[in-house]
Structure 1
Amino acid sequence: MRHAKRQQMAQQAAEKQRKKGERSGAVINGLAVFFVAVLLAFAGYQGMVNPDTPLPREWNPTQPLRISDPVTLLTGWKLNRAVASEDQCLATLDGFAALQPLAPLADTEQCFIRDRVDLRAVGQARLNPVETRCAIALRLAMWERHSVQPAADKFLGSSVSSIDHIGSYNCRVMRTANGPSKRMSTHATADAIDIAGFGLSDGSRIRLLADWEGQGAEAAFLRAVRDGACDWFNLTLSPDYNRLHADHFHLQSRGWGLCR
């Protein structure tokens, strides 16, 4: 009996030692994996910031947005970073827009323009001078480059020479199908712009009020650029939304992702 008890105690001690060894091994393995992950992350970061990195800049999260870069899964994230900083927004637009930075406007507590610019062109497309936010200008530039011009080439065989707007800043409440709202419009802070149509390089013009309906190339173009705007603006409203938008796109820099 005593021999069996001593044997049992020895087995229990051996089992405890084995489990202790397993725990120590797991801790060591975990630390090894952690340090390898840190080394790989460091190596990856060094690879991204290295001037000779083979990683294309459009896929490189350490490289800021460039309007001419191909669109990737990182483009939207880079755009949001750019519009969050006035300096970065202006730097991104340099060479891709005709604009003049202006001092902030403060009409009232509810009506103001931060990162205010006087905008006159984005990419190849002219605009009548409009005071708006840099964020709107940058989103317009991305839309013009990656949505408007490709759609014009595809459906119309021409390029867009002008984007016709009906304003950005307007100190007013929101309009609804049931009348004025108590909420201020995003136009009151120039966080939106209304687009009424486009001029083409061949001299023709496309207007939402006249060309939205139908099965022709003009209607197909307008629907394509509406859908494209949803990639670059946080809220896009078109004639499909309600009768108040029968003659324009409402393109908004902030919102909840509605595209209609």
Structure 2
Amino acid sequence: MKNLILYTCLVFSYFFYAQTNNIYEVDYVLQLDHEVLNKSLKTMKNQKVKHFIAKHADTFEEVQAKLIFNAKAAKYAVRKQLQNDFNQKSNFFEKHAGGKSTYYYDNEKKIAYYTSTLINKTNVVYEREWKILKESEEILGFRCYKAELILDQEGKMFVWFTNEIPYPYGPLRFNNLPGLILKAEVKNGLITYLATNIKTKRKNKPIIEETDHRFMSEEEYMKELKKNNPLFEGF
């Protein structure tokens, strides 16, 4: 069985190297760890926040998202956003999966950004720095290595990436590592993004299409939000 898995991974890795013009898709599912949630709620002092989180946790539904990529670029979004279906039932946890924004990584320009839902026709550029750790685990038959996000302000954030698929992509804002990210844990393990399937599409079309959107850094973006909306003054 182990030899079969190893053979499959080797073939798959070669396939990625050889077919750089193909488009690939990765399905992710957003999961909530209720055990971590219950521990957090026990020590939470703000009763309003506690009640708000508990209320939404009780109505949690799995969120599905998709990463589409080739050698040049990647695009990630909640699946119904990719399907242009905005009439389905709203799910609070969709915001954690990306909400209505689309996330891009231009591998030729080495730039990561997402579309703003608050300022029209704006792409927000961001950067991520990682510390690669010694731990590893197997996901979908691939050996994945653990990495920690440096200077994150929302608690411990870890991802697992495989250099057997040598592209710096992943779900949401997780990218810029020497391999595809198949798993991510945020908010001290409360929420997990887990890859459930990888497949290839024969059609070759641009991942990033030309738009008239302007680009700005996260710092510039927050300044403009605060300037135009008093609700953001405290951020």
| Higher fraction of helix | 1
Q: TM-score, normalised by structure 2?
A: 0.23
Q: Which has the higher contact order (CA 8 A, sep 6+)?
A: 2
Q: TM-score, normalised by structure 1?
A: 0.21
